[in-house]
Amino acid sequence: MGPIEADIPETQRSIKLNTPQASSMADQSIPSDDQLPQKYTPNFTYFQGFWCPSQLVPNITAFQNHFQALDDDIVLASKPKTCTAWLKALAFSILNRHRCPLSNSPLASPNPHDLVPYFEMTLYNNGCHPDFADVSSPRLFATHLPYHALAESIKNSKARIVCVTRNPLDVIVSMWHFATSRPERAHWPLDECFEQFCIGDRVGTFLGPCS
């Protein structure tokens, strides 16, 4: 059986990422907390009231400053490890059920994360300025950012925000397995992951759903 040549909708294939020679994005003032131990600071930043990977701060700032929402946009909001891929696949299938029959679905090949891009990790990554001019509506996006960190254009529009939640115990276990698959966290104790999650530590609860 040969590869499926899917007709991927414009929303997923027409976003042009324009990377300027010199990024004009300036980091906003980043909050800090001198009470936190040094171990909290190397890879994560406490930014606008939540922990996030430090490399995402300029991406988030660019998204907040430049994204212009449309009233029929759909934003999938979730906390990491809460079945985001499942929600993306479901939403994509519903929106494109008339254009992409199951026998020729793009979901048969690409990862759902490739079909429904994140604002902060994909679209505005590394100084990119996405061009949405050729993207058909309704546009489908995803984010792990909390509600207050979304672009004002989203909050001031009629765009729909779809949230997914998951049993916190399942989130902790999934997060622990994901984290310990990396060499630097291979020996991270599950009980420590649990404690960090419960107290709102950077590793346990970085980013988050629209709340």
Which among 98, 144, 148, 187 is annotated as catalytic? 144
Identify whether 124 is part of a domain. yes
Residue 104 near residue 4 (C-beta atoms within 8 A): yes
Tell me the pLDDT tens digit for each residue of 150-181: 999 999 999 999 998 889 899 889 988 988 88
Identify whether 53 is part of a domain. yes
Domain count, the chain: 1
Tell me the pLDDT tens digit for each residue of 86-132: 889 888 888 887 777 666 677 767 788 888 999 999 999 988 889 99
Q: What are the C-alpha distances in Å from 21 to residues 2, 18, 63, 124?
A: 41, 10, 18, 15
Identify whether 121 is part of a domain. yes
Q: Supply the range of the domain harboring residue 93.
A: 42-166
Clarify whether 129 is annotated catalytic.
no
Identify whether 6 is part of a domain. no
For residue 53, the domain's CATH number is 3.40.50.300
AA letter at 49: G
Identify whether 126 is part of a domain. yes
Identify whether 15 is part of a domain. no
Identify whether 133 is part of a domain. yes
pTM metric for this prediction: 0.73
**Per mean pLDDT, which of 1-15, 63-77, 104-118, 178-192 is the most reliable?**
63-77
For residues 184 and 172, give the distance between their C-alpha atoms in angstroms, rounded to a whole number. Answer: 18
Identify whether 159 is part of a domain. yes
Query: Closest Cα partner for 175 from 161, 195, 149?
Result: 195
With bands split at pLDDT 50, 70 and 90, how would you rate the model's confidence at 203?
low
Which residue stretches of the chain are H helix?
Answer: 10-13, 57-66, 84-95, 112-115, 152-155, 168-180, 190-199, 202-205
Structure-block tokens of residue 10: 């414009």
For residues 1 and 11, give the distance between their C-alpha atoms in angstroms, rounded to a whole number. Answer: 28
For residues 12 and 8, give the distance between their C-alpha atoms in angstroms, rounded to a whole number. Answer: 7
Going by C-beta distance under 8 Å and a sequence separation of 6 or more, which residues neighbour residue 123?
15, 17, 63, 117, 130, 141
Specify the pLDDT at position 140. 95
